[in-house]
Structure 1
Amino acid sequence: MKQFNGKTRIGAIVTLSTIAFAVLVVTIFTATDAAAQLGCPTSAGTTAPADHLKCYRVGDSFLNTDLLSLNSPQFGVEADCQLDGHAIQFCVPVCKTITGPVPPPTGTGFVGQALTDDYLCYALKCQQNNAPKRVGVEDQFAARTVALGLADTLCAPAEKLPPPECGFATGTAKIAALCGGACPADEACKFTPEKRSSTGIIAATCACAQTTASCGNTAPPGVAPVCGGSCPETPNGGLELCRDLGGNCTCTPF
């Protein structure tokens, strides 16, 4: 069962092979997410591939009603599909570890391919349905038979845009709470308040400044948190940025 717009639908998640053929979507993005390519470090010192997708609900201002012909190597061409408005989910590759019950279930031993792209998912309406009524499937949890209804979701490869550069938001007051953005390694986005001098008033500034502080909250007490500070390079020499992840300032590849 899947909830959407207050209505209950029985639907089939579009398979990754179908996603790969969604190149007819005009607004598709194709760049690979650098953080996902690195995989997930394990306690054994190795790297595990990100082979699951974790999806977040999104609020999207872009309205997409494109008419699509979707060609699946499994189920053939369904030429009468339409995207139904805004993106509803943003999905990122993750690594899964079963932590319960104790002991955890053995699973099936099935291993999927590593995933590297993020995805934006849209509600989809298709008049034609070439899929079988039931299909046997296997994932890392269990093997079973599932019933297939109409396809109702299309996920298109996407990428996160770079964070804005250090500065004040356009058209806003020049105050510490509105100073933020990305800086090079070993620098932090720093607010300097307005000053009076013998020649007049020096306006407040927001700019990258050298710092020895590690990634953390650089905002003065009493104002909204602003993440900044030094971050190490990734193992492959890439840049990490000090970003707000769930309320914590954290160094992450972007």
Structure 2
Amino acid sequence: MEKIIHRADSRGYANHDWLKSHHSFSFANYYDPNRIHFGALRVLNDDFIKGGMGFGAHPHDNMEIVSIILDGGMEHRDNTGRQAVIRRNDVQVMSAGTGIMHSEFNASKTEDANMLQIWVFPKERNVTPRYDQRTFDPTARENALQVVISPDAADDALHLNQDAWFSLGKFDAGQQIDISSKVPGIGSYLFLISGEIKVADEILHTRDAIGLSDYNKITVDILKPAEFLLIDIPMLN
């Protein structure tokens, strides 16, 4: 088994007043040659956006983009005329493919919003741009892993242009959960949204993360009530 640890206080940080963003991987003005990506996982930004503020229209291409709202809501607009508000318990996926233009603004004029924005390298390039969004029942992730993104059509989940699984879990203290490598060549990146857990002999606290590869199964011990995002992702060559 191979593992990497990303402590919350080791992340890149940008403070633009209206936006406070923590970067798990190299992004914008933050560069660390040891933290470019984890397999096909390229970006995991933990963004706090002031009320009434947001990201103006900007382009993307050949990237899979996932938005997970942790608090508040974000209004999405794009050059196809699509408009939607993403709120807590919503997940949005966007295949940028041949190219799209979109904007994201805090849906509230007064309350802050917190979102995870995640970029994944695509399996196929230059596909037709695509959006999808779904609200997931939070009770389904209580002391369980709720799959929200999957390449398996049998799962009631969104899908990306990549062989990747995203799962959310919310656990009481004292629980244990086993996580397993999906298939050969798939690694797991666990981002602890809140709480305290023990995994692979490491104690993780709020906003810490661990990446695991070349493993079969490992147990996660919930030391304090915890919520986390688990990303199973191709490790690439």
TM-score interval, smaller chain: under 0.3
Greater fraction strand? 2
- Which has the higher Rg, Structure 1 or Structure 2? 1
**TM-score of the aligned structures, taking structure 1 as reference length:** 0.21
**TM-score of the aligned structures, taking structure 2 as reference length:** 0.22
